[in-house]
Amino acid sequence: MNDYLRNEVKLLKALQGITYKEIAEYIEVKENSLYCWLKGYYDFGEDRAEKLKYIITCLKD
């Protein structure tokens, strides 16, 4: 799930111009934490992953 979300976040940035800072604010983490997560240093827990999945869905529409 986390790898799927990482790809989706990168696609949002590339295709829609949404910044990582915005995404970090939406899921209530520090921007640096989001960068570390994107690099695969750790995985989000189930609650945060579900929140991110919901935000990705909303931003795609």
- Residue 34 near residue 23, CB atoms below 8 Å: yes
User: Residue 61 above 90 pLDDT?
Assistant: no
Q: Can you tell me whether residue 46 is helix, strand or coil?
A: helix
In order, the DSSP letters of 6-23 are HHHHHHHHHHH---HHHH
Q: How much is the CA Rg of the chain, to the nearest whole Å?
A: 10
| pLDDT the model gives residue 48 | 97
Indicate the pLDDT class of residue 58, thresholds 50, 70 and 90.
very high
pLDDT for residue 4? 97
Residue pLDDT, tens place only, 34-56: 999 999 999 999 999 999 999 99
Mean pLDDT of 24-40: 97
Q: How large a percentage of the chain has pLDDT more than 70? A: 100
